[in-house]
Amino acid sequence: DAGVIQSPRHEVTEMGQEVTLRCKPISGHDYLFWYRQTMMRGLELLIYFNNNVPIDDSGMPEDRFSAKMPNASFSTLKIQPSEPRDSAVYFCASSLGLAGVETQYFGPGTRLLVL
């Protein structure tokens, strides 16, 4: 298996622009997670899905962030409009089974820089 696939790997954009991050989970996994990692705040869970349905979005910072999972093999995290404080590494992860129990498999991350 190719593992969790994220694109792009790097993104540089200007403040106010829309940013879309993409994720393909491991085939057959029923949970998908979006995390954000920064030096100041560490690793934060933004949102997670079970069978394409959002379960917990309490970590989404504000209305500028939105996430979708239109099918079992694809998810997007969108930031509109982007701000410099959104600069971070965004990870997608997937698992087979309960979110707090089963191993999560992480993608390589998208490094986002908002100027």
Partner 1 sequence: AQSVTQPDIHITVSEGASLELRCNYSYGATPYLFWYVQSPGQGLQLLLKYFSGDTLVQGIKGFEAEFKRSQSSFNLRKPSVHWSDAAEYFCAVGGTGTASKLTFGTGTRLQVTL
* Residue in this structure with the two tokens 């498999």, named with its chain if needed: 105
CA gap 28, 44 in Å, rounded: 25
Q: How far is the CB of 58 from partner 1 (least distance, A)?
A: 10
Q: Work out whether 69 is an interface residue with partner 1 (CB under 8 A).
A: no
Q: Work out whether 2 is an interface residue with partner 1 (CB under 8 A).
A: no
Q: How far is the CB of 115 from partner 1 (least distance, A)?
A: 21
Q: Select the residue interacting with partner 1 from 75, 104, 112, 114 (CB under 8 A).
A: 104
CA gap 110, 69 in Å, rounded: 18
Q: Work out whether 55 is an interface residue with partner 1 (CB under 8 A).
A: yes
Q: How many residues bind partner 1 (CB under 8 A)?
A: 20
Q: Work out whether 109 is an interface residue with partner 1 (CB under 8 A).
A: yes
Q: Work out whether 70 is an interface residue with partner 1 (CB under 8 A).
A: no
Comparison of 42 and 70: residue with beta carbon closer to partner 1: 42
Q: Binding residues for partner 1, per CB under 8 A?
A: 4, 42-43, 45, 48, 55-56, 91, 93, 98-101, 103-109
